[in-house]
Chains A and B, each alone.
Chain A
Amino acid sequence: MTRAAALETEEFSRAECAELFSERSPAFWSWAFGPEEDGVVARVCRDEEGRVLAGLAALRVPALVEGQEASLLQVVAAYSALSGLQREGRFVRVAEDFARSFGGTAPDGAPLAYGVPTRSIWRIAKERLSAKVMRTQDVLRVKLNRLQLPASGDCQVEEVAEFPSEVDALKLRQSEQSAIVCRHTVRALNQRFVGTPFGEYRIALARRAGVLVGYAVFKVGQTEFGQRAGVIWDWCVPGSDALAGLSLLDGLAARARSELISELALVLPDTQPDWVALQKVGFRVHGSKLVVAARHFPRQLTMRWLYHNFCYSLSDLVLEGPGELYE
């Protein structure tokens, strides 16, 4: 039987992560760490010979929590070399060390670790790591021939190769309207969506009288029936600006039709005003396999509070896909 030595706490390089969490590609880890090598936090458990037995890695996601700057931990990889109870024990040790090292109260610790766990990891996380369900996530989907935009929006929509600097102000407006929101900068958005290992994203901007009022990011995916779908990975229309939203949808639909895409799919928290508004123009709600789970560190960040207040897009939940969207 292999005995585990003390938990390792050394800095993790992207090469080590690529070796350890081999379900994700080296290109993924290169992207995840980012240019300054600080985008990922990870913990591992090794045996006496230095072999890794279990590990856990998360992206640091800058966020605003009730107006205070914080980092959230989006768990993106979990690894265990063993099976059964041994596997569970090692993994729990790693996860607890991970929580002690990185969880806590902002600004020193991350107030929240969250993700969309696989079933096997979820079983351990809920039973032994105080993780809970924040939301069973549904998906808004619309067949393009059922999209009923009552009137054109009043904005100009353009597709761009990368995000312009004005997006920072737009994200700031969005963050003022949600108690907890991932605060992606222009730089982070460009890293996330431009030249990524996850495929080709299209970025659409909506401007009113030249002022940026919303954006959407979409990528071609495939539905459970093998049809081409335009999956909206990021949707940012602050202030429930209905006309800006309509303009964006109009632009996305035109682009989608030109690419023989049959439907659009969008993930939003059901507590966001857009969620009901989008149903009024033809989107329908579908179940999905996505369960958003979290572990909170400050006591007041309960799952119900997060359910009502955490504003996110699909790209804040999962990095690849969109298989999980479709049942």
Chain B
Amino acid sequence: MKDKKVLIIPCSGIGKSLGSVGRDATYEVIENLKPGKADTVCLALLTLGDEEAKQKVTSNYCISLDGCPKKCARKNIEALGKEPEKSYRTIDFFKDNPGKKPQGIVDIGEGGRALSKSIAKVISEDVDDLLENGRR
């Protein structure tokens, strides 16, 4: 399906810096690394059942990106009957890269931006893989 895109859906959890890191990584992929191939959708709009948002999710590939173990982005997508093609948690990337520590929620700082770039790199590879090979 040539017209398909990959939607990156972060939780954007406002209470913790890892939620901000997921949001930043999403923008890094859709605006810098894979513009035109990747996009995002408002999670709250999707969860409240907006038809256009639901259509976007069901007709494209999805990658959920959560900030904490509660996996709200993934759960909210699954609640619509769609299983994301890939699911990530920023906390897992942080565990693998403890030196890349986010500073805060409003400004994730140098460490947070470095962590965001690491996550975005992995996800951008997924974007290419999904668009080339589809769901496996």
Do these two chains interact? no
Q: Which residues on A are within 8 Å of B, measured CB to CB?
A: none
